[in-house]
């Protein structure tokens, strides 16, 4: 019986994590993943000025665009990948003399793959709502319980240590690139040099994606804390089983 309760607790935790990451994505996309903030922190404008003039596809004039247009372009990409890739191929940047397609065909295909992945994860998130509701009701009825505070802290510390050690040993870039080989189709290009891709240039890949990952993790942490607090308040402290 104890093993069954432990298993139920683990499933509950996984369900909460999935819910928090999914909601974190929704919240972050509504503010364009704070791109304007990271634009300044990562000095993306300087990155564009360095690599846009080296573009191999006659798009060197992208260097003449300003940060407000970069914010707008990123917003268009966020909207597109969260809407089945709609309009990706038609996104354009403009200069004083002309309008130009922002992405090459290979970039459009890659971003469509990203959109497909987002759609799949959205389905997983929605399906996860059912077990989350069930576990939450069981918890509030004291059918299952969270572990004591000591075990919670140990689990949190262990998770942070594993993540930290992984990034220290392998580095964010290696992990990021490896995940791309697992997730995306083998015959689709996913790595783009700055000189051949305005997408990589104005997003300063992979640095921006590491920053977005920080956004998602921090937001998820607060969502988890808020969620646990909200279900705790329905039970008097004296009745919560922390054994």
pLDDT tens, residue by residue, 19-32? 999 999 999 999 99
* Range with the poorest average pLDDT among 26-40, 156-170, 190-204, 227-241: 227-241
- Is the pLDDT higher at 136 or at 116? 116
* Reported confidence tier of residue 178, pLDDT bands at 50, 70, 90: confident
| C-alpha–C-alpha distance, residues 30 and 165, integer Å | 32
- Is the pLDDT higher at 17 or at 90? 90
Backbone angles phi, psi at 145, to 5 degrees: -140, 155
- Which of 222, 224, 228 has the alpha carbon at shortest distance from 19? 224
Count how many domains the chain has: 1
The arithmetic mean of pLDDT across residues 38-64, rounded, is: 97
| 64 alpha-carbon distance from chain centroid | 30
| pLDDT in the model for residue 179 | 78
| C-alpha–C-alpha distance, residues 60 and 53, integer Å | 4
* Reported confidence tier of residue 159, pLDDT bands at 50, 70, 90: low
Q: Are 95 and 224 in contact (CB under 8 A)?
A: no
* Reported confidence tier of residue 139, pLDDT bands at 50, 70, 90: confident
Q: Can you give the pTM of this predicted structure? A: 0.85
- Which of 51, 130, 115, 41 has the alpha carbon at shortest distance from 80? 115
| C-alpha–C-alpha distance, residues 200 and 94, integer Å | 18
* Reported confidence tier of residue 236, pLDDT bands at 50, 70, 90: very low
Domain span including residue 32: 2-239
Q: What residue has token string 């990451």?
A: 21
Question: What residues pair up with 94 in beta bridges, in sequence order?
Answer: 99
């Amino acid at each position: 019986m104890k093993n069954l309760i432990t298993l139920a607790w683990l499933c509950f935790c996984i369900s909460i994590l999935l819910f928090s990451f999914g909601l974190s994505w929704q919240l972050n996309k509504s503010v364009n993943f704070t791109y304007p903030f990271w634009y300044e922190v990562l000095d993306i404008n300087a990155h564009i000025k360095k690599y846009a003039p080296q573009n191999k596809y006659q798009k060197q004039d992208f260097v003449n665009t300003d940060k407000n247009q970069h914010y707008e372009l990123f917003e268009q990409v966020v909207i597109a990948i969260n809407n089945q890739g709609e309009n990706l191929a038609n996104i354009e940047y403009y200069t004083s003399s002309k309008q130009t397609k922002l992405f090459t065909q290979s970039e459009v295909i890659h971003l469509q793959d990203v959109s497909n992945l987002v759609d799949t994860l959205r389905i997983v998130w929605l399906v996860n709502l059912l077990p989350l509701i069930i576990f939450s009701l069981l918890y509030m009825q004291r059918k299952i319980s969270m572990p004591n505070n000591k075990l919670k802290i140990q689990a949190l510390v262990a998770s942070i240590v594993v993540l930290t050690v992984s990034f220290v040993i392998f580095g964010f870039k290696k992990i990021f690139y490896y995940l791309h080989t697992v997730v995306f189709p083998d015959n689709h290009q996913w790595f783009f040099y700055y000189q051949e891709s305005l997408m990589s240039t104005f997003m300063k890949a992979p640095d921006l994606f590491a920053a977005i990952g920080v956004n998602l993790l921090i937001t998820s942490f607060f969502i988890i804390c808020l969620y646990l607090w909200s279900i705790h308040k329905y039970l008097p402290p004296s009745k919560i089983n922390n054994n």
